[in-house]
Amino acid sequence: QVQLVESGGGVVQPGRSLRLSCAASGFSFSSHGMHWVRQAPGKGLEWVAATSSDGSLRFYVDSLRGRVAVSRDNSKNTLFLQINNVGAEDTAVYYCARENVGHTSTWFDLWGQGALVTVTS
Amino acid sequence: DVQVTQSPSSLSASVGDSVTMSCRTSERVSNFFNWYQQKPGRAPKLLIYAASTLQSGVPARFSGSGSGTDFTLTISSLQPEDFAVYFCQQTYITPPYTFGHGTKLEIK
């Protein structure tokens, strides 16, 4: 079954770190760039981070630069996201998404179910 | 970074109506542009990619158009299951791949 499954969500105290995982199955994980997108409660989608298919390239949203790290383990078909020194503004549902690329565009054609992270003391 | 402005923020329509929503980017993005549908408590679902290509399995009543900086999503003959939030996204060259703020399509 082609799917992405996030894990690692839950309650995180302010100032601590959050670490999420995204397990891929049913497709060639190492052939695709992968992304993290988050959605604060009642808000829109915010693109957060991305990694190329081999993990050599990493991209981050400016607002998180310095606090965020994306990585992947292609041997385990798993994508990771770590955000350090979290605050209330990091409370959100975090989605991982698969990138697909054509001649004339790039799109996210497979999404995980999302992992809710709540930052609270 | 490329900014995406989506309008309207909300839209009210009846089953059977046709509706259109729009997005504008701050720079030309060719047709590196996508549309997603999101229902409450669910992950976004890809509807249209490359500005006008219908994703497999998506009903033909959904259509996308545009290139450069201006893009539209049209839903013809609205069905009850179409009432949701719609997001547009630019994916030009390299990340960040920014989203519009969404259009909430509500039943009139």
DSSP string, B4-32: EEEE-SEEEE-TT--EEEEEEESS--TT-
DSSP secondary-structure letter at B26? Answer: S
- Taking only the tens place, the pLDDT of each residue in A31-59 is 999 999 999 999 999 999 999 999 999 99
- Taking only the tens place, the pLDDT of each residue in B33-83 is 999 999 999 999 999 999 999 999 999 999 999 999 999 999 999 999 999
DSSP secondary-structure letter at B9? Answer: S
Q: What is the mean pLDDT of residues A16-40?
A: 98
Instruction: Report the C-alpha gap between A17 and A23 in whole angstroms.
Output: 20
Q: Give the number of residues written for chain A.
A: 121
Residues 69-88 of A with CB under 8 A from B: none
Provide residues of B within 8 Å CB-CB of chain A: 1, 30-34, 36, 38, 43-46, 49-51, 53, 55, 87, 89, 91, 94-102
- Taking only the tens place, the pLDDT of each residue in A56-102 is 999 999 999 899 999 999 999 999 999 999 999 999 999 999 999 98
Q: Chain B residues with CB inside 8 Å of A108's CB?
A: 34, 36, 44, 46, 89
